[in-house]
A and B are shown apart, each in its own frame.
Chain A
Amino acid sequence: MNSTPSRLEQHLARLLPTTPPPTVGRNPLQPRAKVDFVYLTGADQDRLDDTVRQ
């Protein structure tokens, strides 16, 4: 693996800070628990919404 970031890595590095920063201060001594996020495709989200709306 080269030590110089590839163009892709440079692009991704620019992409990441565009999301809002955490609004609450983190305790640096405490490791963060892993949150498993799931993003559904449009069709799957529609189906879920129908289920919960019943």
Chain B
Amino acid sequence: MTDTRTIRSHDELISYIRHLMGFHPESSLVCVSVGGGPHSRIDLPHSPEGMEQLLQQLSDVYLHRHPVRRLALVAYGEKGYDCLEALTSLSATLNYGGGGPEIGPMLWVKGDQWYDVLNDSRGTVDPVVRDRVDAEFALMGRAIPTGRREDLAAAMQGDPSGVAEHLVAAEARVLDMDTSANVAEVRWLRSCLDGFLETGKYLEDDAAARVLAIIHDSGARDAAVFRMSRENAPAFSDFWQDLVRRAPEEVRDSPATMLALSSFLDGKGAKAWTALDQMTEGDRLADMVATALEQAIDPAVWDKAAPVAAQALMQHAALRDTTAHERSSHDHRRRGPGIEETGPASSAPGR
């Protein structure tokens, strides 16, 4: 009876991990944190130096940055020796001197088969359990992960031709904007993002080009960034991934940065790293996201820290808005009627 319960738990844990990661881990070491804290996946090392680095990186996280109560360790791979070495080395490192997390279960997974290192038992993942876990996630509206980590990058590739048709005009329009028009465009961007949160409808090609043209502006990007929270990050991750897929090469970095940030806030490190891998040039915000990922920063801190910065930003924006409005009124009086038509066109976002 005890064995049955233990096997069932391993089956559930293994079935759960691909939902946790969003893909099937291959040749990987996965640490599942029980009771809170970061979960992690790292490639199995192929050299002693690589192993040393793995132990250093993970012990730094689980012993110092984010101490956790208990860790389940699961190694995925065809080569038993590599998997068992990674499991036992990490377990010993985390337990060295005492005070580390409780470790267990500790599993080597090869295909559907698992081996429990701690109690020398083995089994095969019950397809009924796997289907039940999948069904539970489906009921919560989650997609069933079917691919490997490499497939995350493929999901960020799409057809840019539709947006490309509108991009030149959209960029020319932004270049012609005065301060007042720029402020109005940022306001339009905010309404665009809010509209997506409400409807979940992706942008038409012309609106997508318009977003890609203005998101280069640091003020517009700041406004878009502060629309994000831990709670709405999954939706914004969808939004920016759609734009990464449809953006022509020359304007892809900005939505890729936003995708990386929203994926980080969504707690999905692999997707955030993959978005950063799409970048062709350096970017300060992207560098900060990379640092946050390297340091395993808990995205929950964003919800505490962002409102303070957002308030300051809003005050700055309001001041800018007022100044722009006064300047616009002044220009209007000076130049006569019709000059305010230099503002943004009224094409509505959404499909």
Please give the residue numbers on chain A whose beta carbons come within 8 Å of chain B beta carbons, in ascending order: 1-2, 5-9, 11-13, 15-16, 19-20, 22-24, 26-27, 30, 32-41, 45, 48-49, 51-54
Contact = CB atoms under 8 A, between A and B. Distances in A.
A52 B34 contact: yes
B324 interface: no
Interface string B43-80: 10100011001101111110111000010100000000
A10 B295 CA distance: 18
B56 A19 contact: no
A48 to B, nearest CB: 6
Contacts, number: 141
Interface stretch (B119-127, B238-246, B265-273): B265-273
B288 A12 contact: yes
B40 A54 contact: no
Contact of B42 (A9, A20, A33, A45): A33
B156 interface: no
The size class of the interface chain B forms with chain A is 35 or more
A8 B269 contact: no
B13 A39 contact: no
Contacts of A24: 56, 59-60
Interface string B290-316: 011111111111000100110011001
A6 B218 contact: yes
B313 A7 contact: yes
A2 B298 CA distance: 29
B41 A35 contact: yes
Given A7-B316, A9-B288, A20-B64, A36 B20 contact: no
Nearest to B290: A34
Interface of B: 5, 8-9, 12-13, 16, 20-21, 32, 34-36, 38-43, 45, 49-50, 53-54, 56-61, 63-65, 70, 72, 105, 149, 216, 218-219, 221-222, 225-226, 230, 267-270, 273, 283-285, 288, 291-301, 305, 308-309, 312-313, 316
B50 A40 contact: no
Given A38-B41, A45-B36, A48-B32, 20 more contacts: A1-B283, A8-B221, A8-B313, A9-B218, A9-B285, A11-B308, A12-B285, A19-B65, A19-B295, A23-B63, A32-B294, A33-B53, A36-B21, A36-B42, A36-B270, A38-B268, A39-B300, A41-B230, A48-B34, A54-B9
Contact of A23 (B9, B60, B291, B296): B60
Given A30-B49, A35-B58, A54-B8, A7 B222 contact: yes
Contact of B267 (A7, A27, A38, A54): A38
For the complex of A and B, list the 7 residue pairs with the smallest distance between their C-beta atoms, beginning with the closest: A39-B267, A36-B270, A11-B309, A37-B269, A6-B218, A8-B222, A38-B39
B221 A6 contact: yes
Nearest to B261: A12
Given A35-B61, A48-B20, A54-B8, A5 B35 contact: no
Nearest to B142: A44
B38 A16 contact: no
A15 B305 contact: yes
B19 to A, nearest CB: 9
A27 to B, nearest CB: 8
